[in-house]
Structure 1
Amino acid sequence: MDKKFDFLSKALLTTAAAMALFAGPANAASDAKSDEAPLRVCAGANENPYSLKSEEGFENRIAKVLGEAMDRDVEFVWEDRPAIYVVRDLLDKDKCDIVIGVDTGDPRVLTTSPYYRAGYVFVQPSNSKLEIEAFDSEDLAKAKNVGYEPGGPAEVMMVKYGLFSKNFNYVKSLTNFKSSRNQYLRIDPALMVGNVSSGKSDVAIAFAPSVARYVKESDGKLKMTGVPDNNFRFDGEPVLFHFDQSMGVRKDDEKLLAEVEEALERAKPQIHEILIEEGIPVEEPTKPPSDTKS
């Protein structure tokens, strides 16, 4: 064998061994992440602005931040039906691992500590002459075509103040007059806000995370006024309008719950930034972590 070739061969082998020694831990860490099963996120395919198949929903963005904090790839498992079905049809059947946004204490799942709190809002034109700050505001009775989700807390209060019948046809028009019998009908929040912007409706009442994006996109033409959390039914029972928001996993997956809790703590600053960018008026959660398991 040529001595020069023999020397070069030995030198290359020595160099390769040294590189393998130093690269080993990094490669091992990389391989560990690639070997880790992806975090399968239950997601609505057309649940704007929360989740969209284009991954432009703000909960899609939060899911990716969570995945980074857990050092796991994120894989969205899409549901074409309304997101209300993802727990029953995807999570409970082990087709996905986690739901990004649920009410804290949702009895269908184990919920994390709340990572933000938000309330309902009145959406109006910024230059509206109607002063609406609560359901008992006199100007709410003067408003034309008040939009809201049927069956929700806003409807309860509209009934209490005698405004349900007046707005019945308009609210039905938001679902194209489809019957809600034996099916869940979701009103597109962009439609409700768009109608306020165009003048077709004087006010919309909605959960802030569902409409904040569209109010922000109006460049100041629309405003949100928070619904106070001091509302009661005829019988004196409270009607809640502000809710802590958590992530949910299967009832038997306490291991994943603990892992998500740890990652949430690390990811909080980035998640808060996403919520603020979305235009959501974020409130401090009220429920203590010890109350989140259900």
Structure 2
Amino acid sequence: MQRRSWRTAMVAFGLLCLTGAAAAPVLAGPPEITERGQLRVCADGNNLPFSNRDGEGFENRIAELMAEELGVPVSYVWAPQIMGFVRNTLDLGVCDVIIGVAAGYELVQNTNAYYRSVYSLVVPEDADLDVTSLHDPALAELRIGAITDTPPVVPLRRTGASVKTYALQADTRVVSPVRDAVKDVAEGITQGAVLWGPIAGYYAGRQDPPLRVVPLVGDTPGAQLQFRITMGVR
């Protein structure tokens, strides 16, 4: 009797599940599932050396290689990479990947890292300054440029440097704080600038004469200056 009741209960439970499954609404898949005809990239259209609308950045080239491997064309959704960039691009579902994102960035899901770099010190070629850490006393009392709210600012101040800051959030269609920071070094307004490595190298090499770029690979207590770079997806 108990066995028959158990079987009856199981059959009733199974019918209930089937009824619930049949009644559940069928939801349409998000664009990244249903649209596979192209690689849709979220990018800044004026952000060399990473990306621009003419496809001259190294992240443009990475996107091309990925699309070639997938056998689809690349399409871009362009937006200045300022506050709201992820919300207005990736989160809206209008594009599917941001090529360059620091590992651990909480607004996206990170892929495996594909390169890493460090912040670097940009100085005149003939500068008598050879440091590998922002903890180096040689930086004390020097006028050093840095992007506001980036990791180098606090250790520079602790070391005793006079820090000239440049805007972190900037519409690259109008201004380029990093370019301005490097230009100030070239013109002697500052004695150096601490910037993200790829950007430091790009702008330093375009000065006449070129500036020297020193990777800060030494230990700087209390500051993370090296980052792994991934791609960001939803």
TM-score by length of 2: 0.75
Q: Which residue of 1 aligns with 2:3?
A: none
> Counting strand residues as a fraction of each chain, which structure ranks higher?
2
Q: 1:84 to 1:55 in 2, by over 3 A?
A: farther
Q: Which residue of 2 aligns with 1:125?
A: 124
Between the aligned partners of 2:208 and 2:105, the Cα distance in structure 1 is 35
Between the aligned partners of 2:219 and 2:145, the Cα distance in structure 1 is 21
Instruction: State percent identity of aligned pairs.
Output: 30
1:224 matches 2:213 = yes
Contact 1:41-1:63 at 8 Å conserved across structures? yes
Q: Which residue of 1 aligns with 2:180?
A: 191
Q: 1:153-208 deviations in whole A, cap 9, x for unaligned?
A: 11121232233xx33xx32xx44xxxx8xxx3475222212221222221010110
SS of the equivalent of 1:248 reads: strand
Between the aligned partners of 1:52 and 1:188, the Cα distance in structure 2 is 17
Between the aligned partners of 2:50 and 2:67, the Cα distance in structure 1 is 17
TM-score by length of 1: 0.61
Offset at residue 70 of structure 1 (A): 1.6
1:255-270 pair list within 5 angstroms: none
Contact 1:44-1:86 at 8 Å conserved across structures? no
Between the aligned partners of 1:245 and 1:108, the Cα distance in structure 2 is 14
SS of the equivalent of 1:37 reads: coil
Letter in 2 for 1:149: I
1:32-47 pair list within 5 angstroms: 36-47=36-47
Q: 1:120-165 deviations in whole A, cap 9, x for unaligned?
A: 0001112112333322323212423x110111111121232233xx
Between the aligned partners of 1:221 and 1:54, the Cα distance in structure 2 is 25
Between the aligned partners of 1:53 and 1:84, the Cα distance in structure 2 is 20
Q: Which residue of 1 aligns with 2:12?
A: none
Q: 1:162 to 1:198 in 2, by over 3 A?
A: closer
Between the aligned partners of 2:83 and 2:117, the Cα distance in structure 1 is 19
Offset at residue 71 of structure 1 (A): 1.3
Between the aligned partners of 2:134 and 2:69, the Cα distance in structure 1 is 42
Deviates more, 1:152-161 or 1:209-218: 209-218
1:203 matches 2:192 = yes
1:81-96 pair list within 5 angstroms: 81-96=80-95
Q: Which runs of 4+ in 1 moved over 4 A?
A: none
Deviates more, 1:203-212 or 1:193-202: 193-202
Q: Unpaired segments of 5 or more residues in structure 1?
A: 1-34, 234-238, 251-294
Letter in 2 for 1:243: F
> Counting helix residues as a fraction of each chain, which structure ranks higher?
1
Number of residue equivalences: 196
